[in-house]
Amino acid sequence: MEDWTATLCERLQERDESEKKLKSIIDSFHLVSQRTIDAETRLANNSPQDQANQFASLQAELANKKDEIATLAKRVDSLSVDQTSASKYIKQLEAEVIKAAELLKQYKESSEANALKAQRLKDDMLVQEIHMNLAEKKAAKLQEENEALVNRWMQKAADEAERMNDANAFLHSLEKAKQNQSHR
């Protein structure tokens, strides 16, 4: 960006210098005009030889000034062309700036939308994590309850087996006692 601004500043300075030079030409032209008027007045009062010398001097000065004017006119034309190309370049850069601003706006909008999506995703992940934690706690509780139920059932089954064993042992001892009595 600094490149085009530096170029623009240079060209504007050149244009200002050119205009200053034109001012000096205009001032010089007025000065020559005034000198011409003064010379004509003096010519009317001077001898023919002095008048011829002054006239020749003024013509030479006028020719020099015309050359200066022609040179400066070429310079003005050149600066005008430079100014036109600088204006085109500035318009091109302005178009690029507008395009870059639009791209930046689109990028910001896209970034904001992505940030919103990311936030929603984080929220969903947090909800899922909470659900998972609750499910894990429920599963752990059910596991404990299941283990307690299995332990109670196993204890009950063991108690029943022991009672059955005791009952069988009692019946067995009764049968033995009956057999012993019947054998006697």
Contact (CB, 8 A) for 43 and 55: yes
Distance from the Cα of residue 88 to its chain's centroid? 26
Per the domain annotation, does 56 fall within a domain?
A: yes
Please tell me the total count of domains within the chain.
1
Determine if the pTM surpasses 0.85.
no
- Kindly give, in sequence order, each residue whose CB lies less than 8 Å from that of residue 61, ignoring residues fewer than 6 positions away: 32, 35
Per the domain annotation, does 153 fall within a domain?
A: no
Q: State the pLDDT confidence band at 154, using cuts at 50, 70 and 90.
A: very high
Per-residue pLDDT tens over the stretch 111-152: 999 999 999 999 999 999 999 999 999 999 999 999 999 999
Per the domain annotation, does 91 fall within a domain?
A: yes
Per the domain annotation, does 30 fall within a domain?
A: no
| CA separation for the pair 92, 101 (Å, rounded) | 14
Structure tokens at 180: 């012993």
Q: What angle do CA 96, 99, 103 make, to 5 degrees?
A: 135
Q: Report the pLDDT value the prediction gives residue 14, as an integer from 0 to 100.
A: 84
| CA separation for the pair 165, 36 (Å, rounded) | 153
Per the domain annotation, does 84 fall within a domain?
A: yes
| CA separation for the pair 56, 45 (Å, rounded) | 17
Per the domain annotation, does 175 fall within a domain?
A: no
Range of the domain at 95: 46-145
DSSP state, 170? H
| CA separation for the pair 184, 180 (Å, rounded) | 6
| CA separation for the pair 81, 75 (Å, rounded) | 10
Per the domain annotation, does 183 fall within a domain?
A: no
Per the domain annotation, does 165 fall within a domain?
A: no
Task: Answer whether residue 40 shows pLDDT above 80.
Answer: no
